[in-house]
Structure 1
Amino acid sequence: MQFQSTDQYIATEDLTVAVNAAVTLERPLLVKGEPGTGKTELARQVSASLGLPMIEWHIKSTTKAQQGLYEYDAVSRLRDSQLGDPKVEDVANYIKKGKLWQAFAADQRTVLLIDEVDKADIEFPNDLLQELDRMEFHVYETGETIRARHRPIVIITSNNEKELPDAFLRRCFFHFIRFPDMATLKQIVEVHHPGIKNALLTTALTQFYEIRDTQGLKKKPSTSEVLDWLKLLLAEDLTADDLKRDGASALPKLHGALLKNEQDVHLFERLAFIARGQR
């Protein structure tokens, strides 16, 4: 069972090695990288490449680790007991299975995505240590222990918004997705926009990397944003010549796909003003 690039996803060699190492070690794969570099999509492509079903758990700031195991609806049980509903005799009727329980109980091995783990409370990763390590947990309301029938392939993503506990990191295989170089990004673009003219692509990507390298930029545009930008350029039928900037503005064509806040737009406007003043 080996992961490799798919028709829809270009995986670098080091990323491929990381995924397969985590699978071999039966450790969660912790994937970090700036937003938009394909961390979430990686899990979906691992699922597609290995032919395994996928379960997605998207973490929010209010998410608790317990929700990944199960939730007990005591309020509904109390209400039903007041109404004389006979199903209150079985507490299992009021237990909602979480994503980990679903992965543990699956009839075959699954890919379990725990997406943006750093959004949750700092204690969230620690609260999952035993469950991810032993692949089992106890349901106190029913007295049963849920064990994984097939150990899932666990992929955990983080945008590095907060530090993760050392005890959690020790149990993971780690990989940082670096932003792709020009050659790799051209391969990625070819997957999404096959047949794009090389002159347009080279000119657009050159401008894109110049924007990313601009000092003082608050938010660097990501892979997903350059794909959106190229889609707009193609829809407008623009050529490489159309992308040339005349000096009156340092902003690229259709810059709203790349620059996502007014500070960065003003930065490029100031750069154009300074450039005109130096002439």
Structure 2
Amino acid sequence: MDWSLMLALLAMGTFGGFAAGLLGIGGGMILVPFITMIFSARHFAPHLIVHMAIATSLSAILFTSMSSVRAHHLHGAVLWPVARKLAPGILIGSWIGPWIGKQMDTQLLSVVFGLFVAFSATQMLVNKKPAAHRDLPKTPGMLAMGGLIGVVSGLVGAGGGFISVPFMTWCNVRIHNAVATSAALGFPIALAGTISNIYFGWGEPGLPPYSLGFIYVPALALIALASVTMAPLGARLAHRTAVRRLQRIFACILYALSIYMFWKAAHA
């Protein structure tokens, strides 16, 4: 691995970790497009690039989420009862998501990723006020919602914040608590998704050396190293940032990355 690639991966991990702490998105929405660019420049097998970018991003969240959630927990912002109710569905869904992704070609997977990111950005930018009486659903509803978050997160390689944060704010959870709780959900999403990507990618023809299933281990190591360092800084800033500004930051970043993934699909 040359120095330019190492520096690029460290820079991505720095930015992704900071965003994970700030926005509770696990970094995946940020990392996948950039990893896709790097893997394309390295001439990895075209039909595997997006699959590997998603798997590598998801595995990095294992490390980022632990660092991020610790910082949020120190602020007393994580709603642990909410996280516990969502976690069982998330574990199941995050295993299924990579299996669904394996059935898709790179072009379709890029479009799906771009659509989910654009939808998430719109949810945040519109900032529609929830009904005052709306609350989080009961346990069966939380199990189902956890399953949905897990499937989509495992499919697109993200920590789930692009669904869980809008969902929780829609149910009248304060955005700072929603971001912190979403960061806690990143670990079960990443754990199940990582194991699933190793299992379903094992022995896939065309994988480069040092791959573990669909995960490219050298990229994972460098991204994780940088992101773990930066996630607490993003988390601390999140608790000092106005709610509306936080939503706008979230939306603008996601719109830009969704555009790239649509472009990638068009040129696949």
Q: Tell me the TM-score range normalised by the shorter chain.
A: under 0.3
The structure in which a higher percent of residues are strand is: 1
TM-score (norm 2): 0.26
The structure in which a higher percent of residues are helix is: 2
Larger radius of gyration: 1
TM-score (norm 1): 0.25
> Structure with the greater relative contact order (CA < 8 A, sep ≥ 6): 1 or 2?
2
